[in-house]
Structure 1
């Protein structure tokens, strides 16, 4: 995933959670489909770039997505799981998110890359905090920084520094991305009990789960500031 590291550091892995927990297989499958979907999204959105530099940056991020997918495929195979049917269970949910957040401009595509993917990283890395070390390492490897965040920040900040209208439009778009990301995360948790178990283990219960979604909004505000959209 071409996402940026979340604003807060992840918690330490919990030695008490078994590496055989069925939620880990579901987590890997969800991430795997996310990587494939992101690859196609980035290659499509690269065509929106106004210059060769933008297209190359998007294409490089897309290539990284497939490398991350291969990590997850291998991790699932080590667990005796066929990646295609496993990840296909999440196709409708993730495709629905991308359908509802299809960018109409190059700048919207950049904001989605930066903000949308970082929100997903917050969600997955919160879960990673309670996983056995070897499992957490896979998740963090998939969500690792791909060194293109500065490219996005510079392009967006430059565009909005000279246009209040552009800033307002992108700020509204960013808030929409936040709302859809939280909604889709809730849908995923509603359908997959094993993932709920992992999430509750990471947050400490339902009350803390609500606090986690509030934390997403706070880190989102920090990223808005980084992009010049606050």
Structure 2
């Protein structure tokens, strides 16, 4: 997911934090509207889904950027994530970028104590995102990337994290099954307090996977108010 208009390595990314915070309702409403707008305008390049109806399954804030994750299960499984630049409490989006994957078949729930990787971006790009599913007993997911530990947001069996920089060592490598491994490792904390380190995530592959992405900058993002 290339992040045009989100500030590159400047102000928006400088405010990034490895631990997420909650999103105020006014900001969540604005980020969700902007996300749906970007997804709807890029339908031709991705799987079939209703951008206005696909459910929001989690959201988080890191500095001036709000991340929203949308997920659709069923005959067509869709994972989409959006990053929007929006100052805390302003309800005003200045830029949004979206990316995700879709494929045939129901979503897969990992076994106890495990996680499964879903949509991932971060090759030769300004920022990386990773999302997936977590077993019901997984309460916390931590990613270790170089010298920083990133706490993912975990809600209702889904997790999401993002950060500035690349997730893969070789910008020209191929991702996905049999491709490049990401630079980070995972720890998971279970509901009984157990911490499992260096967890190897499952990587289920839906049939007929397609990728999609898009962006909007200030002036083209609708004001939900």
TM over 0.5: no
With structure 1 as the length reference, what TM-score do the two structures score? 0.24
With structure 2 as the length reference, what TM-score do the two structures score? 0.24
Structure with more of its chain in strand, by fraction: 2
Structure with more of its chain in helix, by fraction: 1
